[in-house]
Structure 1
Amino acid sequence: MPDDLPLAERPDPVRPHAWNRGFRYWECFFAVSTAAVVALVWNGTGPVGAELAATAWIGALVLWYLALGRRLITTALGTGEMDGRLALVYRLGVLALFIPLVLTDREAMPLLAPVISHLFWLVSLRSTVVVVVALSFMPLLVDAVEGDALTDMLWTVPFCAATAAFSIAVGMFVHRVIDQSFERYELIEELESSRAEVARLSHQAGAAVERQRLGAELHDTVTQGLSSIIMLAQAARSADDVRRQEHLRLIEQTARANLAEARAMVEALASGEDEAVQAESSIAELAGGAGAAFAVEGRPRPLTPATAVVLVRAVQEALRNAEKHAPGASVRVALAYRESTVAVSVADDGPGFDPEAPVSGFGLHGTRNRVVGLGGTFQVDSAPGRGATMRVEAPA
């Protein structure tokens, strides 16, 4: 049965349980036993009238089972609920029909085995035990009615007691198997319900985290880039020709950088979690827009969307810092594909800075958090007077 089948559409629990198959086997046993007992009755030496009467009582027992007993048992196996009063009526009816049967023809006594066994499918167990004990002592009743000697009757008592004890032991085992099967079935239903709830909550939590991450990415890329373009465009209106050209150059550079990162983000979002994307073209576009040299080491290969976005974001932040703190410096971007990781570095020969000094911006701090959250490493190597280098390494 498929795991994703809704609970409302699940088949009745009577079908998958092993003890239900056992019940069908019992019905076959009951049918064969009934036919065999009828044959024994008619092969006996009793009068034809007694044989007809015994056959009629056997037919009444079968009809009583088909009319009420089978419905009670299949209902109990399917839902675990049974009408206790009807079950008691059925037990008493079986006892009332079996007594005249064996008194009419004791050749019908072997029918005792299937009759006793099926009563244990009914609840409650206590009422069944009383009727089973009474049925087990039917041979003693027949001996008494037929006037057998007291010594013969005393020999019958241990046999009847052993039959009752064995029947009760088997019946209790059947009840324990049924109860355990229902408990396991209910436990499986509860576990599947809990699993579905956990999956739903996990999906909601994952969606919330993804919304927060996407909001942060849009704020760090598109929003900041558009804000920079707006400010540069406003400054260009009132600037002279030389300054206007510089502002236009910065506008183009900013637009190219944001376009490259937006493409990387869109490609990552459009891909599935297990699909791979290329980061090399986006990083090359970022480097070209910033006028930086770009080099690739190793054999390029597709990366996971998360890794690609982190690398592109780190390169953009490093180039932005180089433009801001080391204008006119020579900048080099290197992308290295290794066996199980991919690394990118952005180096400039500008004035450098003290990495331990407090900073007011959140760019490098946010980049570090992204890289570490992905399981990678982030390092900034710089000192006053000897440029700066940012290195990022992430799982490939």
Structure 2
Amino acid sequence: MTELQPTTRANVWLHVSFAATVLLTGVIAVAAGSPWSSRWPAFAALAVLTLAYVTYGRRGYDERWAAAAFLPLAISAAFVLPAVVPTTAFVQCILFPLVWRQAERVPVAVALSVLVGLASGLGLMVAGGPDALPSTLLIEVVSVVGSCALGLWLTRVSTLAEERRHLIEELRAAQDSLADAHRTAGIAHERERLAREIHDTVAQNLAGIVMLTERARNDLADDRTDALDERLTILEESARAALEESRVLVAAGAAGATHDSLAGALHRLGERHTRETGTPVTVTAADCVLDRDAQVVLLRVAQEGLSNVRAHAGARSVRIVLEQDTEGTVLRLTDDGSGFDSAIVTAGHGLHGLRDRLALAGGTCTVDSRPGAGTVVTAVLPTARGTSTGTAPVPAPSSVHGEAVSR
């Protein structure tokens, strides 16, 4: 069932009140003590008033032309009924609300209320003569003043209710807009997260596969078939890693999460990098007790750092150190490659993505590099929850994801 609006409900109650008032006024006219022959104008006035209200007067609440046509007739009835049967002045009980409801502005409603009071007063004077002037004046003054006071109060209440309705609509619109903004921000945030995960895992694995494939093709062209078996083994491992990380991403998890410890993952990462590139990687990693998210963030730092070393540095050796100090957990990756001017902002996604990832985790990432002097990437997570149980320097070849992206 369709819910009625407040204005529609008010009109329904006015229709009911009009019918009840007209019916009661008719009963009053029937019960009057004057001769029947003198009362017929009262019944005629009630009939005309009712017919006019049913045909077009009821539209006057919403349509100006209907109100302009009906209200003069209502004022005329306010004069005719008391003039014929004084007790039918009771009809004012509905005429005053009709005036206030159908008038377009408050000054017009006040003026029409005065006209209703004057018409009814003149009607009573016609019926009662000059002797009825004091009582008639008192009755109509009280009626007009009471009607205007009540009308002004109801108008104020109606205005406040309308303002409240508009405020509620604006609030709902603002809430809908805010919800849309939150959804849009959530979608953008999730896209950025997926972009970082894909860049740091699957994309780097695929880049490593491309590089290994190129080397295998060169070995085949140079008839170095003895190296092909190792190349194919590394290719298979990288492809399996990319497949596994893709499945984890599809399952909405953090791709590449470590299964044992961050230290073990860093050792495997260094070994795979050395196997792919021939550049030795030394890993010195303390067994730090970190939560899963912190381990993933630091692992991504190492992956991106090795990816940049492979793509840009031309380094002869790389060193990865994981330790804890007063600042928290620190991962430092150092290479002796060509370096670059770290003061120049580059357009690459890799280091920018790492800084964003660390910032979301409450950490920091600094890059210290000069042309010809190598590069040091330092990531710090303020997680003083871990404890060191020893270090294990391991020179290791390793091949993990490596995407040739700009720093």
Q: Is the pair's TM-score, using the shorter chain for normalization, greater than 0.5? A: yes
| Residue 316 in structure 1 maps to residue 294 in structure 2 | no
Task: Spell out the pairing of 1:1-396 with structure 2 (5 A cutoff).
Answer: 15-17=4-6, 21-73=9-61, 76=62, 82=63, 84-125=64-105, 126-146=107-127, 148-149=129-130, 152-197=132-177, 199-200=179-180, 203-204=183-184, 207=187, 210-211=190-191, 214-215=194-195, 217-239=197-219, 240=224, 243-248=227-232, 250-268=234-252, 279-281=257-259, 310=297, 313-314=300-301, 316-317=303-304, 365-366=351-352, 368-378=354-364, 392=381
Q: Once the two structures are aligned, what percentage of the paired residues are identical?
A: 23
Shift of 1:60: 2.7
Shift of 1:188: 3.7
Cα distance in 2 for residues equivalent to 1:318 and 1:182? 63
Residue in 2 aligned with 1:337?
none
> How many residues in Structure 1 have an aligned counterpart in Structure 2?
351
Contact 1:57-1:98 at 8 Å conserved across structures: no
TM-score under structure 1 normalisation?
Answer: 0.66
1:39 is paired with a residue whose SS is helix
Cα distance in 2 for residues equivalent to 1:391 and 1:40? 93
Cα distance in 1 for residues equivalent to 2:86 and 2:116? 13
Contact 1:40-1:107 at 8 Å conserved across structures: yes
1:137 is paired with a residue whose SS is helix
Compared with structure 1, are the counterparts of its residues 373 and 107 closer, same or farther at alpha carbon in structure 2 (3 Å cutoff)?
same
Cα distance in 2 for residues equivalent to 1:35 and 1:204? 61
Contact 2:209-2:239 at 8 Å conserved across structures: yes
Cα distance in 1 for residues equivalent to 2:248 and 2:284? 20
Shift of 1:320: 5.6
Shift of 1:136: 1.1
Deviations 1:238-275 (A, max 9, x none): 4435644554454345445544443433332xx7xxxx
Cα distance in 2 for residues equivalent to 1:143 and 1:98? 10
Compared with structure 1, are the counterparts of its residues 204 and 44 closer, same or farther at alpha carbon in structure 2 (3 Å cutoff)?
same
1:124 is paired with a residue whose SS is coil
Deviations 1:153-212 (A, max 9, x none): 145324322321221222233333334433443444444445545555665565456556
1:103 is paired with a residue whose SS is helix
TM-score under structure 2 normalisation?
Answer: 0.64
**Please, what is the CA RMSD of the aligned residues?**
4.8
2:129 is paired with a residue whose SS is coil
Shift of 1:113: 1.4
Compared with structure 1, are the counterparts of its residues 318 and 101 closer, same or farther at alpha carbon in structure 2 (3 Å cutoff)?
same
Shift of 1:122: 0.9
Contact 1:222-1:258 at 8 Å conserved across structures: yes
> Greater shift after overlay, 106-115 or 43-52?
43-52
| Structure 1: stretches of 5+ with no match in the other structure | 1-9, 77-81, 335-342
Shift of 1:294: 10
| Structure 2: stretches of 5+ with no match in the other structure | 272-282, 384-407
Compared with structure 1, are the counterparts of its residues 265 and 64 closer, same or farther at alpha carbon in structure 2 (3 Å cutoff)?
same
Contact 1:41-1:105 at 8 Å conserved across structures: yes
Cα distance in 2 for residues equivalent to 1:43 and 1:156? 21
Cα distance in 1 for residues equivalent to 2:335 and 2:152? 85
Compared with structure 1, are the counterparts of its residues 353 and 296 closer, same or farther at alpha carbon in structure 2 (3 Å cutoff)?
same
